[in-house]
Structure 1
Amino acid sequence: MGQDVILIGAGIMSATLGTLLKELVPDWNITVFEGLASAGEESSNEWNNAGTGHSALCELNYTVEKPDGCLDISKAIKINEQFQVSKQFWSYLVNQDLIQNPKDFIMPLPHLSFVYGEKDVAFLRKRFEALSNCPLFQGMEFSDDPEKLMEWIPLIMKGRNANEPIAATKTDVGTDVNFGALTRLLFNHLENQNVNIRYKHHVDHIHRTHGGWEVKVRNLDRGTVERHTAKFVFIGAGGGALHLLQKSGIPEGKHIGGFPVSGLFMVCKNPEIIEQHHAKVYGKAKVGAPPMSVPHLDTRFINKKKSLLFGPFAGFSPKFLKTGSKLDLVRSVRPNNVLTMVAAGTKNVPLTRYLVQQLRLSKEQRLENLREFIPSAQIEDWEIVKAGQRVQVIKDTATGKGTLQFGTEVISASDGSLAALLGASPGASTAVSIMLELIGKCFPQHLKAWEPKIKEMIPSYGVQLVERPELIDQIHASTAKGLGLR
């Protein structure tokens, strides 16, 4: 029997889309195929991402300085609003008792931006002034006073050169999010809603049929091949999504490539040091470094235990997934995207040079980077952990052929019967907004009927929060209560 919906990949995106659809149309038949043995094991896993509830409170790369010296804060506003949407949906699920124990996946945590040097201090002051005028960022504090900074970030200030210009901004409404735990909670909920979740089932191929799609699935335990059909297919397979999008043959998937970037974090092993820091602190990427290289020192809550991570350090592997194949990159090159890929290679020589430099770093050199945040850091207190693979989208845009994109993007068939999610950060934090965008693209005929339910789940749906300060206050209060963030 055919399905209404097939979701490929058991990460945060499929979990979010499946949960939304089950609330909107409970009687639809949904099947999920995941190649690994459990949910949330690739990009969504808590050790494979930074766990930041991305809302532009501290991430300096979301506010861009224009040539005339003015700051463009439009991206910061957009990402903040998207995270408010995610918090509303999660709060709705908790309030409806569809998932429990929000502290298992979200914790309140101050978000700080930290810079040093006259130029970056001036930039941070300018950023603070620009964001302070926006109601989404009310409550943000700025200080260049070493005594105040010692209160905020004692571990970072201890042993620091007193003559160096330094500054920080601080916001107390930030969060640490365990997206692996959230993904598992959502899939447990979907199983209770009679969603058919098939682990250790790898989708090998996908092709169009009359009235929908057929997916060819390999049962990895038995070695058998199954064929399943559905009216709608979502490819939420992380780095594996590009290959399946290409196999679907839809025109919208042509002239798109992918560039894989791996990541490493330094993880603190010393409980005494871990207890001295309680914040997510983001710095400024070095000149010429890509956006994903922004250094940050993060308090994390993983398996109900406080941890401390620093990074990321970029690396390169031709794999599109941690559990992928070294032939992934080669297999993604097709006749329709080879020129796009070549153009990207010639345009991104600085990125290639940066990745080579990062790959050659010794543990001692990584420690020197850490000491820019923690001057007293000792090598025996830290170990290296490999994080997830991210596949950055390469496509032809108005600015030229082979443009490397650093965000997330939904690619959908013209008839709305298939969609794929490509790209990386700030992905998981904005999953609900991205899936609502997908629903609007792929199910326009249902949107009017579904709108009341969507507004019940997400009161700000269809509203620009930045223009409604009173609604921002209401949402902050209701989500803080629902998610235990007070």
Structure 2
Amino acid sequence: MSNGENKTDVILIGAGIMSATLGTFLKELVPEWKVTVFEKLDSAGEESSNEWNNAGTGHSALCELNYTNEKPDGSIDIGKAIKVNEQFQLSLQFWSYLVKSGLIHNPQDFIMQLPHMSLVEGEQNITFLKKRFEALSTNPLFQGMQISDDPEKLMEWIPLIMEGRTSKEPVAATKIDYGTDVNFGALTRMLFEHLESKNVEMNYKHSVKDIKRTDNGLWEVKVHNNASGRIEYHTAKFVFIGGGGGSLHLLQKTGIPEGKHIGGFPVSGVFLVCNNPDVIAQHHAKVYGKAKVGAPPMSVPHLDTRFIDNKKSLLFGPFAGFSPKFLKTGSMLDLVTSVKPNNVLTMLAAGAKEMSLTKYLVEQVMLSKEKRVEELREFIPNAKSEDWDSVVAGQRVQVIKDTEAGGKGTLQFGTEVITATDGSIAALLGASPGASTAVHVMIEILNKCFPQHMKEWEPKLKEMVPSYGLPLMENPELITEIHASAAETLGLNEFGE
């Protein structure tokens, strides 16, 4: 059964943090535009944005070692770290604006201050960490970073990790006190609650089945109403595909040339979650280690204090898993049906290139709980198996595409924005740092898809994101202002405090 066509200005597919952020921008910039959202699940923020399906780290390169690589000459390349940090600063500014303007309330329900630390073991890794510290600590974006290899100081910083450590290998750590834990699920729900109050039409339990171009240049979206069984057709001038792992299939349905020769490889995550309040109380930081040799960047082990539903939790992971599904709520046929004539060679090339990744995933999938606890003991020597439960986190689809640098079938670690040449449709693919850079990604989409409006929108964009259009590295005084504003509005401490 079907009904007639429904017209709207903007369609957002997927009720996650990306659609929530883009919808909020558009409603501030052009409140008169009609915005319609489709989400196949019962409520917002239930898939990739859900608090149990991501690391909850405000990714700003304060602790993630994979954003700083050692170059052949031994120096440290901090370019990616600066880029990720600057992108997170945009998010802090936008969230501050939302709270100041009364669009969302109670920031402590989605963001908490938490030290971010990097931890390494062994002389070679300590040498790397010290060089990284020297390269970052003089940069205004990383002001206040401390380093120590003194066991007494480390016992003060991370008692749970240092207690009972019998290894003769030296240990060192860096620490920045103004890192953040972000509950992206809670933030997503807040934003959609706000959008509903602004007459954004929310359609839960609605699965998008097809997207095609009409003769008059609009996009027609075919939607299945899961509750009634009806098929609906909606047309819009602009469509954003923000369906997490489900975005690749929808992008392929659009038929746009930019969506060809792109594949996806699903990786699931498993975390150990502490169930002992006494153990949880002994740790208060996000501590990131170094990925093992041969392991992919998304496998960096970390021991994280988390705040979920205003309750302190402790998680360790991730351990990689494999499922052919592209979403936790996806189909076992997702991987197979994503292979098309235009991307099959790209996918095969990736398979040949990434044998080490395949081997790593097989080993990870085979790990028993006890083996996972053994890895946890590299962080917490006294960890007891009965204090920890396994939780399956979200599915992430790593983008595979042909690149000049990597050649055919190169696995991309990060977030990819695909837009049609005319800017009428955009899709978001990929994984970490994802949610942390949502504001940066949405500004990029606004620039690519609405260039004709940007001049007129600029004053409002600068009100929402004061550093819009300015490189922060060239404006250190602006960094101080951003942190002061975030400290006041979001309840975070300023640099070095």
1:328-343 pair list within 5 angstroms: 328-343=334-349
CA distance 1:28–1:146, change in 2 (3 Å): same
Match of 2:483 in 1: 476
- Structure 1: which 5+ runs fail to align? none
1:2-151 residue pairs with structure 2 within 5 A? 2-151=7-156
Say if 2:270 is the partner of 1:264.
Answer: yes
Is 1:402 equivalent to 2:402 in the alignment?
A: no
Residue 449 of structure 2, aligned match among 442, 454, 463: 442
* 2:420 equivalent among 410, 413, 420: 413
- Give distance in 2, aligned partners of 1:162 and 1:395: 42
Q: Alignment partner of 2:341: what SS?
A: coil
What is the identity, as a one-letter code, of the residue corresponding to 2:373? L
Out of 466, 469, 481, the position equivalent to 2:473 is 466
Q: Work out the CA distance in 1 between the residues paired with 2:255 and 2:167.
A: 60
Which residues in structure 2 correspond to 1:284-433 (within 5 Å)? Answer: 284-398=290-404, 399-433=406-440
Amino acid at match of 1:275: A
Work out the CA distance in 2 between the residues paired with 1:442 and 1:340. 27
Q: Tell me the distance in 2 between the aligned counterparts of 1:223 and 1:163.
A: 64
Equivalent residue pairs, number? 486
TM norm structure 2: 0.97
2-structure distance, mates of 1:301, 1:133: 31
Is 1:456 equivalent to 2:463 in the alignment?
A: yes
TM superposition outliers: structure 1 runs of 4+ over 3 Å: none
Residue 211 of structure 1, CA deviation: 2.5
Residue 445 of structure 1 aligns to a residue whose secondary structure is helix
Determine the C-alpha separation between the residues in 1 that align with 2:425 and 2:482: 33
Cα distance in structure 2, aligned partners of 1:320 and 1:67:
37
Cα distance between partner residues in 1 of 2:356 and 2:381: 29
Q: Give 1:323 deviation, angstroms.
A: 0.2
Write the letter of the residue equivalent to 1:301: F
Q: What is the TM-score when the length of structure 1 is the normalising length?
A: 0.99
1:94-114 superposed Cα distances (whole Å, 9 cap, x missing partner)? 000000000000000000000
Question: What secondary structure does 2:486 align onto?
Answer: helix
2:248 maps to 242
Measure, in 1, the Cα distance between the counterparts of 2:286 and 2:317.
Answer: 12
Find the partner of 1:179 among 154, 179, 184: 184
Mapped to 1, the partners of 2:476 and 2:151 lie a distance apart of: 33
Deviations 1:369-405 (A, max 9, x none): 0000000000000000000000000000002000000
Deviation by residue 1:249-277 (Cα, 9 ceiling, x = unmatched)? 00000000000000000000000000000
- Partners of 1:228 and 1:21 in 2: CA distance: 19
Tell me the alpha carbon deviations over residues 333-368 of structure 1, each in whole angstroms, 9 at most, x when there is no partner.
Answer: 000000000000000000000000000111111011
Looking at structure 1, the residues matched to 71 and 49 of structure 2 have their Cα atoms a distance apart, in angstroms, of 33
CA distance in structure 2 between the partners assigned to 1:263 and 1:164 by the alignment: 29
Deviation at 1:467, TM superposition (A): 1.5
CA distance in 1, matches of 2:116, 2:21: 25
Q: Find the residue that maps to 1:54 and give its secondary structure.
A: coil
Q: Give the Cα separation in 1 of the matches to 2:269 and 2:224.
A: 30
- Aligned residue for 1:454, secondary structure, equals helix
Can you list the C-alpha shifts for 1:209-249, whole angstroms capped at 9, x where unaligned? 11310000000011110000000000000000000000000
More moved, 153-162 vs 210-219: 153-162
Q: C-alpha distance in 2, partners of 1:369/1:217?
A: 45
**What's the RMSD between the two structures over aligned residues?**
0.6
Q: Distance in 2 between matches of 1:339 and 1:422?
A: 20
Identical residues among aligned pairs (%): 76
Alpha-carbon distance in 2 for matches of 1:131, 1:161: 31
Other structure's SS at 2:102 match? coil
- List runs of 5+ in structure 2 lacking aligned partners: 1-5
Within 2, Cα distance between the matches of 1:152 and 1:158? 11
Larger deviation: 460-469 or 436-445?
Answer: 460-469
SS at match of 1:107: strand
Q: In the aligned structure 2, how far is the partner of 1:93 from the partner of 1:412?
A: 27
2:414 and 2:330 map into 1 onto residues whose CA distance is 22
Q: What is the deviation of 1:162?
A: 6.4
| Among candidates 276, 279, 295, match of residue 273 of structure 1 | 279
**CA separation of 1:161 and 1:218: change in aligned 2, threshold 3 A:** same
What is the SS of the residue equivalent to 1:410? strand
Distance 1:107 1:220 in 2: 37
2: distance between equivalents of 1:385 and 1:162?
A: 29
Cα distance in 1 for residues equivalent to 2:445 and 2:103: 23
- Which residue does 2:3 correspond to in 1? none
Q: Report deviation, 1:163.
A: 3.3
Please give the alpha-carbon distance, in whole angstroms, between the structure 2 residues aligned to 1:303 and 1:476. 25
CA distance in 1 between counterparts of 2:357 and 2:217 reads: 44
Pairwise CA distance, 1:132: 1.1
2:198 counterpart of 1:161: no
Q: Distance in 1 between matches of 2:132 and 2:375?
A: 24
- Give deviations 1:255-309, integer Å, cap 9, x for gaps: 0000000000000000000000000000000011000000000000001100000
